[in-house]
Structure 1
Amino acid sequence: MPEGNEIHRFAERHAAAFAGKRVHVDSPNGAFPDAEILDGRTLKSVEAVGKHLGYRFGKDLIVHVHLGMYGDFWEGEMPLPPEKGALRWRMWTKTDWMELRGATDCSIFDEAKWQALLARLGADPLRGDADPAPAFEIIAKRKTPIGLLLMDQTIFAGVGNIFRAELLYRARIHPERPGKDVSRKEMEGIWKDAKKLMPAAMEDRRIVTTLPKDRPHKRGTAEDDEVHYVYRRHGKPCFVCGATIKREAMGGRTVYWCPDCQKS
């Protein structure tokens, strides 16, 4: 599932290509039946919050997109490519096009429904207006493992499985530690780290969390097998201490950690 960094990246790219312009819109496979309502209208703005995108054509004409596990965008310069696959939503101008496939949701929200969605979401580290204080207060009262709380989009919006594993490793916190046992100082450190790592991951589609001094190749760009400390590195040695990285199921996903660097 794309994490917040990629969602915000799409918002920036699509705003640059389409916002302020009159666009053509269609739904070749018919899975977005309201597409014809938008054809010929001006896209006013694109907003990203957590893992949600909002394409604002008017106050009560906001296309909500949630990519889910399998959704993705394709983009390019004109001309339009041939229709291919389960093409749900297509938008284009004289110069640019984008296509959406496989999303969990692509539907029109009115302003009230959009605002209700925003009210349900927690603080997004990629938004300058985000206030993490309510999230800190919730976590301080919960016995729920911090590994689950970080993935709760009503607490922190945009944090997914990769960032959960890597932020907890960098903070040296075991994912099973109860939220109430994570100090305010530790949570502030995780938030600060997220605000550094997530924007950096918007530059391309790689999330790099390792420090050069900890990588096997300490100079140059991180190689693909050394971009993460623990995520999908189960059975391999920790870059820092050499212990074998562990994994287990948590909340329907797989969580990863180092048993020595992240004591329970």
Structure 2
Amino acid sequence: MRIDAKLKGEVVRLFWARSRRLFVSPKVVVGKRVDRAESFGKNIILKLEELAIRLHLMMYGTIHLYRLDEPLLKPERMVRLWLEGDRLRLVAYNAPIVELDSYERLMSRLRVELGPDPLRSEWNPEEAARRLKASGTKVGIALLDQRVIAGIGNILRNEILFRAGIHPERHVDDLNMEEVNRIVEEAKRLTDMFLKRKIKGERIGPILMIYNRFRQACINCGGPVKFYLQEPIKRKTFVCERCQH
């Protein structure tokens, strides 16, 4: 994670946040050293000794790193978090969730609220399979439920199901365990693949097999790729009716 490489070791000299989720005094952040940045699902966690800052950007939030002498690239009214060290300044714009708490309390909450994360060391494929099978909905909907598997977005959802050969409209109750395990295995494999390309600065477009291939031939069978918005979540869905059952 670029934030981790840039901020690790910085000592906080100035901290400000606009949030109702500050569970410890912001004053105690000043003087803390940034130990690391990590992710849990779609959350970014900054660990500052015994404290942690959680950021969730959702669709519209962004994080910028500046040198101390650099001007902001966006208006100050959009700032939700400002963290300044001796060399760098981290600014989060329009982040819907900014949370400050002890690291242990925050991580304990996330482990309850979220499903297993394929990118974390404690990834548990058996628990992910259990949650997917127990989700009680269509598999295309279940994969976007962060309580099932944390960190899966819409592009990944489409790619996982295509490579697993599973139609997004299949209900999880109709999936056998071999199919469930195949989905979980693809979730792990693809999240690892996406992360490696991101770290290298490579685009994911060249490795996509189904996403945004509407009106193109299926890469596997040559048949048509269908596009629709899956209900009720209304998310872009691409499917090959021949390859996905």
The answer for the alignment partner of 2:239 in structure 1 is 257
* Count of residues in correspondence between the two structures: 232
Cα distance in 2, alignment partners of residues 128 and 187 from structure 1: 21
Residues 48-127 of structure 1: pairs in structure 2 closer than 5 A: 48-59=39-50, 61-75=51-65, 78-83=67-72, 84-85=74-75, 86-110=78-102, 111-127=104-120
User: Is residue 9 of structure 2 the alignment partner of residue 20 of structure 1?
Assistant: yes
Measured after TM superposition, the shift of residue 142 of structure 1 is: 5.0
Decide whether aligned partners of structure 1 residues 25 and 238 sit closer, same or farther in structure 2, where only a CA change above 3 A counts.
farther
Q: Deviations over 1:205-245 (max 9, x none)?
A: 6663xxxxxxxxxxxxxxx4x54222222233222223222
Match of 1:163 among 132, 156, 166: 156
Taking structure 2 as the reference length, the TM-score comes to: 0.81
Answer yes or no: is the 8 Å Cα contact 2:42–2:151 preserved in 1: yes
Residues 115-264 of structure 1: pairs in structure 2 closer than 5 A: 115-141=108-134, 143-202=136-195, 203-204=197-198, 208=204, 224=205, 226-250=206-230, 251-263=233-245
Structure 1 gap ranges (5+): 1-11, 209-223
Decide whether aligned partners of structure 1 residues 18 and 244 sit closer, same or farther in structure 2, where only a CA change above 3 A counts.
same
Cα distance in 2, alignment partners of residues 240 and 114 from structure 1: 41
User: Is residue 34 of structure 2 the alignment partner of residue 38 of structure 1?
Assistant: no
Aligned identity (percent) is 28
Q: Deviations over 1:83-103 (max 9, x none)?
A: 232233233434444322121
Decide whether aligned partners of structure 1 residues 71 and 49 sit closer, same or farther in structure 2, where only a CA change above 3 A counts.
same
Answer yes or no: is the 8 Å Cα contact 2:117–2:123 preserved in 1: yes
Answer yes or no: is the 8 Å Cα contact 2:128–2:184 preserved in 1: no
Q: CA RMSD in A?
A: 2.6
Answer yes or no: is the 8 Å Cα contact 1:53–1:65 preserved in 2: yes
Measured after TM superposition, the shift of residue 37 of structure 1 is: 4.6
Q: Deviations over 1:32-71 (max 9, x none)?
A: 5865552332123333111112222243x32111111111
Is 160-169 or 41-50 further displaced after alignment? 41-50
Runs of 4+ in 1 over 4 A off after TM superposition: 32-37
Is 181-190 or 156-165 further displaced after alignment? 181-190
Measured after TM superposition, the shift of residue 108 of structure 1 is: 1.1
Answer yes or no: is the 8 Å Cα contact 1:145–1:175 preserved in 2: yes
Structure 2 gap ranges (5+): none
Q: Deviations over 1:231-261 (max 9, x none)?
A: 2222332222232222222324222211221
